[in-house]
């Protein structure tokens, strides 16, 4: 767990040099599932930007790829999360 927090702090420090992430904050306590359900939609959308930056693919929403909708549904809607989990567990 200590390594996870160390990576989190380093990641936030790195990201804060970019305008999109200037207001990012270090989360002092590890989040549990209940905390994730209350995530801010803007924070979820920033996650899509991070995925795009990592993969060097800069469209989180296209004809066949809907990462914004997917992650918002997964984190914010328990029923949809269960359905998504059923699909990927097959």
Two structure tokens written together for 90: 């097959």
Cα–Cα distance measured from residue 13 to residue 21, given in angstroms and rounded to the nearest whole number: 10
> What is the pLDDT averaged over residues 65-79?
93
CA–CA–CA angle 33, 15, 32 (5° rounding): 10
pTM for the whole structure: 0.79
Q: Which among 25, 21, 72 is positioned nearest to 45, based on CA atoms?
A: 72
pLDDT in tens, 17-67: 999 999 998 988 888 877 777 788 998 999 999 999 999 998 888 888 999
């Amino acid at each position: 767990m200590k390594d996870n927090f160390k990576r989190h702090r380093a990641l936030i420090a790195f990201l804060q040099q970019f305008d999109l992430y200037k207001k990012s904050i270090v989360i002092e306590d590890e989040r549990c599932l209940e905390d994730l359900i209350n995530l801010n939609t803007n924070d979820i959308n920033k996650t899509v930007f991070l995925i795009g930056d990592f993969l060097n693919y800069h469209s989180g929403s296209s004809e066949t790829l809907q990462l914004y909708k997917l992650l918002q549904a997964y984190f914010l809607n328990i029923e949809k999360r269960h359905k998504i989990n059923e699909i990927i567990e097959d």
